[in-house]
Amino acid sequence: MVRRKLIAGNWKMNCLSADGVALAKSVAAQVKAGKFDCEFLICPPFTLLGLVKKCLRGSKVGLGAQDVHFAEKGAHTGDISPLMIKDLGCSYTIIGHSERRVDHAESNQLINQKAVAAHAAGLNTVICIGETEKERDAGKTIKVCQTEINGSVPADSTAKNTVIAYEPIWAIGTGKTPTAADVQEVHAAIRQALAKKLGKATASKMRILYGGSVKPGNAAELLSLPDVDGALIGGASLKADDFIAIAKNASK
**Cα gap 223→214, rounded to integer Å:** 10
Mind listing the pLDDT tens digit for each residue in 100-137?
999 999 999 999 999 999 999 999 999 999 999 999 99
Whole-angstrom CA distances from 143 to 39, 128, 163, 214 are 30, 15, 19, 23
CB 141 within 8 A of CB 135: yes
SS3 of 86-108: the string is HHCCCCEEEECCHHHHHHCCCCH
240-248 helix and 216-223 helix, angle to the nearest 10 degrees: 30
Is the pLDDT score of 2 beyond 90?
A: no
Domains of the chain: 6-251 (3.20.20.70)
Mind listing the pLDDT tens digit for each residue in 21-42?
999 999 999 999 999 999 999 9
Using DSSP, state whether 145 is helix, strand or coil: helix
- Helices and strands per DSSP (H, E), number in the chain: 11, 8
Instruction: Give the H or E element holding residue 52.
Output: helix 49-56
Q: Could you list the active site residues?
A: 97, 167
Is the pLDDT score of 172 beyond 90?
A: no
Pick left, alpha or beta for residue 88 (phi over 0 → left; psi -120 to 50 → alpha; otherwise beta): alpha
Q: Measure the CA angle with vertex 148, ends 205 and 65; round to 5°.
A: 70
Q: What's this model's pTM, rounded to 2 decimal places?
A: 0.96
Average pLDDT in the 92-104 region?
96
**Cα gap 147→98, rounded to integer Å:** 14
pLDDT at 252: 65
Mind listing the pLDDT tens digit for each residue in 195-234?
999 999 999 999 999 998 899 999 999 999 999 999 999 9
Average pLDDT in the 179-207 region?
97
pLDDT at 173: 81
Torsion angle of the four alpha carbons 201, 203, 204, 210, in this order, in degrees rounded to the nearest 10: 170
